[in-house]
């Protein structure tokens, strides 16, 4: 749900670097992604941690059905 909200609201305006980071993030194993988005874990890489925070922020601002 978080990624769905993020992709609807922010991905259309995302730059090349953000898209590259997202692709790299989505290549990670599901348990690792669950830790980032459900378990409060933070990626070690600063740019990846920033992206995870951005996704959480965007998803928290977007109401379901309203990008």
31 domain residue, yes or no: yes
- What whole-number distance in Å separates Cα of residue 33 and Cα of residue 57? 16
- What whole-number distance in Å separates Cα of residue 19 and Cα of residue 11? 8
44 domain residue, yes or no: yes
**Structural domains counted in the chain:** 1
- What whole-number distance in Å separates Cα of residue 29 and Cα of residue 67? 27
66 domain residue, yes or no: no
Q: What is residue 44's predicted lDDT score, i.e. its pLDDT?
A: 96
6 domain residue, yes or no: yes
pTM: 0.85
Q: Residue 11's domain spans which residues?
A: 2-61
pLDDT tens per residue, range 15-57: 999 999 999 999 999 999 999 999 989 999 999 999 999 999 9
- What whole-number distance in Å separates Cα of residue 16 and Cα of residue 32? 24
């Amino acid at each position: 749900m978080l990624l769905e909200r993020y992709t609807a609201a922010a991905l259309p305006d995302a730059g090349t670097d953000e898209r590259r980071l997202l692709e790299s993030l989505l290549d990670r194993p599901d348990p690792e992604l669950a830790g980032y988005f459900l378990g409060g874990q933070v990626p070690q890489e600063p740019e990846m941690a920033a992206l995870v925070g951005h996704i959480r922020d965007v998803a928290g601002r977007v109401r379901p059905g309203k990008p």
